[in-house]
Structure 1
Amino acid sequence: MDRLDLLPIGEVARRSGVSVPTVRFYEERGLITSVRTTGNQRRFERHVLRRIAVVRAGQRFGMGLAEIGEALATLPADHPPTKRDWVRMSSRWHALLTARIEAMERVRDGLSSCIGCGCLSLRSCPVYNHDDELAAEGPGPRRWPPAARDA
């Protein structure tokens, strides 16, 4: 790999639309990788720009960095992904996003039954007490105020 083909961190940040600290953060989390010069400066292969675009898209979709990292792990780390690589990765996200959309629709449609008291032990609460799991702990508030064990 020719050192002239590598991008300095500032150029990666400028081209990807994120800050230099964000590029460092993504690298610390293992979402992107760099090589070091003899002067210990970071240099990035150009395809890292696509990986950053995937991270930003995933974040916009409400995905956590761990989920994004799992998806990125299916892509090649040493060269740009092929169309087949993208299709494979995006199919994983499709199922995850579909499940989240369905869950959000259930929450949206059930909001009228929420009394907003904080006990969250209603049998119909789809937000924090799915299938009334807290009923096993007995009657009354379970989430608010937080119990000493939760604080």
Structure 2
Amino acid sequence: MRADDILSIGQVAARTGLAVSAIRYYEDMGLITPMRAPGGNRRFRRADIRRLSFVRIAQGFGFTLPRIAELLADLPEARTPTAKDWKDISEGFKQELDQKIATLTKLRDDLDGCIGCGCLSLERCALYNRDDTAAQKGDGPRYLMGDTSD
């Protein structure tokens, strides 16, 4: 490992755009595992920049930190992850993103018909939940999540 492959927390913050406190928090969450210098200071591998960038991107897509930690757990700690390592975790990530995109598209399309529709009839409303029957299908906004009223 070259000397310039080891970075201080300040250098990682500058490269990722994250606050030092956020990097420490992500360490506490187990998303990254820095080494310690003899004086106790955190030292990061250059590969941690990619991990932290992944965290920022995944959070932007609405993934929770525990879910991001699950995804990152499949990456090796003892070496820099390879393109294949990243590809392997991206497959599950893509499937979840596709599901989120489908849900958001349905939400957008259904709400577009509701906002200002003026139907004034709950009987014709696609989102109407008479007697809370949607609760039998599970929690959350069932009809917006793809369930039907039949």
Shift of 1:125: 3.5
Structure 2 residue 57 is the aligned partner of structure 1 residue 57: yes
CA distance in 2 between partners of 1:89 and 1:21 (Å): 27
Aligned-residue Cα RMSD (Å) equals 2.9
What residue in structure 2 maps to residue 94 of structure 1? 94
Compute the TM-score of the two structures, normalised by the length of structure 1: 0.72
Aligned sequence identity (%): 37
Give the structure, 1 or 2, with the largest relative contact order (CA under 8 Å, sep 6 or more).
2
What residue in structure 1 maps to residue 105 of structure 2? 105
Structure 2 residue 128 is the aligned partner of structure 1 residue 132: no
Structure 2 residue 45 is the aligned partner of structure 1 residue 45: yes
What residue in structure 2 maps to residue 76 of structure 1? 76
8 Å contact kept, 1:124–1:131: no
| Unmatched segments (≥5 aa) in structure 1 | 116-121, 136-151
Q: Residues 13-24 of structure 1: matches in 2 within 5 Å?
A: 13-24=13-24
Matched residue SS, 2:31: coil
Shift of the 4–107 alpha-carbon distance from structure 1 to 2, 3 Å rule, reads closer
Shift of 1:134: 7.0
Comparing 34-43 with 86-95, which one deviates more in the overlay?
34-43
| Unmatched segments (≥5 aa) in structure 2 | 117-122, 138-150
CA distance in 2 between partners of 1:96 and 1:131 (Å): 27
8 Å contact kept, 1:35–1:42: yes
What residue in structure 2 maps to residue 119 of structure 1? none
Compute the TM-score of the two structures, normalised by the length of structure 2: 0.72
CA distance in 2 between partners of 1:63 and 1:7 (Å): 27
> Aligned residues, how many?
127
Give the counterpart letter for 2:134 in structure 1: D
